[in-house]
Amino acid sequence: MHFRCPFRCAFGAANNDENHQAVAMTIVAKTPAYPRPVWDLVRELVDNELSIIPLRGKSPFRQWKGAQWYRADHSTVTRWIDQGFGLGVVHGKVSGGLVSRDWDEPCSYQKWAADYPNLAATLPTVETSRGFHTYARTSEGNLTDIRKALHKPYSTGAIVLGDGELRCGTGCYNVIPPSVHPSGVRYRWAVPIPSSGFPEVDLFDTGFFDLPALGVTGVTHDVLAPVLAPLASGESLSERIEEAIRRTQPSAFGQRNRRLFDLARLLRGIPALALAGASDLNYVVDRWHSIALPYIRTKPFKVSMDSFTHAWNSVRFPPGCSMALVLARARASPVIGMLGPFGVGVLAAVCRGLQHDSGPEPFYLACRKAGDLLEVSHMTANRWLRQLTSAGVIEVIVKGTKNTMQATTFRYVE
């Protein structure tokens, strides 16, 4: 029995080498019977620290940018499968430097497997509807050198090769088992993930691409590019996100909006997320929502996501960061000409600073927060805010109440 290449590619037509066919047949013969228990598949993916996303067909079910820095947990991935989604794996740093070589033509994979039998027997490989995806891990420096060598130093996404693609770094994902292709073919592991995890390789030594054939010459890769500096706190990004999720869980019904606002503030304090949009963080909110469900009456995820989006667009600074700076500036340059104690002029300057930070949008300020800043009672701070409103220095946009659990929003006028 021989492995027959269904494509009349250059290799298949010109070279019918029995050794190539025998090696490829050996690889495919290792494929375990499918389906494996779903819990086993999920555990294997999550335990190998892969970032997984839900798919409809071959496309992400929703925005997946956030999955490039935060991994879904076991229960979330299991829930996606229970809901009928397929699964995709995100490449790059979030998945431990995961890369893949996509072989769109089986005969190309067949030739590579014969030329690199040791790698073909050990690197996890998925059989797709028309070819194979071979996976490995590599270092950040090796990844940088590869993209430079292929003249793609600053781009993201897959690198197109003659017979497939190289998926490495930011902006790449692949469909993985137990997903089903739109044609009805189920993805399966032709070479399973080793118990030790995905092997780490030097991509220059894998045979995944032929640099001279791609017109690339004179490449050296003995000096690795600098690795991205770790977070100053020493914590990983995932750990900081997980801590923010843990700290903002509701403890009773009716706290969702307030706690999602707190989540948005904590996430704003993580430098790597400073430029993210709310939709980029849907995986974080999904994780928060799944834990908070016992204290949420309205269960659909969309309600939580809408609330978080509103909060994310309202919050511009992490807890304490903006207010400390605004207060320092206000004390140094209070608004002159205010009647009453010196603190009234400082409070006016605080409002001026908050408006500056909020741009054209109104700013939030509670009388208790104002009192804490100026070291007066909340009743005194409330009286001063009313005085500034009467003087036309600020105007009330939306009055805060206990029911809304939100502070009053103001706009600085003068």
Find where tokens 């016992």 sit: 294
> What is the arithmetic mean of pLDDT over 256-275?
80
Residue type, 175: V
Asked if residue 304 and residue 179 are part of one domain, the reply reads: no
Cα within 13 Å of Cα(38), Cβ side: 15
Q: Which two tokens stand for residue 191?
A: 């070479």
Asked if residue 396 and residue 338 are part of one domain, the reply reads: yes
Asked if residue 285 and residue 306 are part of one domain, the reply reads: yes
| Within-domain flag for 394 | yes
Asked if residue 394 and residue 265 are part of one domain, the reply reads: no
Residue 125: per-residue pLDDT: 94
Residue 387: per-residue pLDDT: 92
Residue type, 3: F
| Within-domain flag for 388 | yes
Asked if residue 178 and residue 99 are part of one domain, the reply reads: yes
Number of domains in the chain: 3
**pLDDT tens readout for residues 279-289:** 878 888 988 99
Whether 219 shows a pLDDT value over 80: the answer reads no
Residue 141: per-residue pLDDT: 79
What is the C-alpha to C-alpha distance for residues 103 and 178, in angstroms, rounded to an integer? 19
Res. 226 pLDDT band, cuts 50 70 90:
very low
Asked if residue 284 and residue 268 are part of one domain, the reply reads: yes
List the domain range (segments joined by +) for residue 249.
243-314
- Per-residue buried b or exposed e for 137-171, using 16+ beta carbons within 10 Å of the residue's own CB: bbbbebbbbbbebbebeeeeebbebebbbbbbbbb
What is the C-alpha to C-alpha distance for residues 311 and 305, in angstroms, rounded to an integer? 10
| Within-domain flag for 4 | no
Query: Among 314, 346, 372, where does a domain finish?
Result: 314
Asked if residue 305 and residue 196 are part of one domain, the reply reads: no
Asked if residue 75 and residue 190 are part of one domain, the reply reads: yes
Asked if residue 54 and residue 144 are part of one domain, the reply reads: yes
Lowest mean pLDDT among 16-20, 117-121, 144-148, 249-253: 16-20
**pLDDT tens readout for residues 334-353:** 887 777 788 899 999 999 88
Whether 23 shows a pLDDT value over 60: the answer reads no
Query: Among 205, 227, 259, where does a domain finish?
Result: 205
Residues in the chain: 414
| Within-domain flag for 212 | no
| Within-domain flag for 28 | yes
Whether 32 shows a pLDDT value over 80: the answer reads no
Query: Among 145, 177, 205, where does a domain finish?
Result: 205
Residue 373: per-residue pLDDT: 82
Backbone φ and ψ for 58, nearest 5 degrees, come out as: -110, 5
Cβ proximity of 126 and 188 under 8 Å: yes
| Within-domain flag for 274 | yes
Q: Which two tokens stand for residue 404?
A: 């809304």
409: left (phi over 0), alpha (psi -120 to 50) or beta: beta
What is the C-alpha to C-alpha distance for residues 25 and 387, in angstroms, rounded to an integer? 83
| Within-domain flag for 290 | yes
Q: Which two tokens stand for residue 206?
A: 């894998």
| Within-domain flag for 219 | no
Of residues 3 and 335, which shows the higher confidence score? 335
Rounded mean pLDDT of the chain?
78
Strands (E) in 207-248, as ranges, are none
pTM of the model: 0.50
Displacement of CA 77 from its chain's centroid (Å)? 15
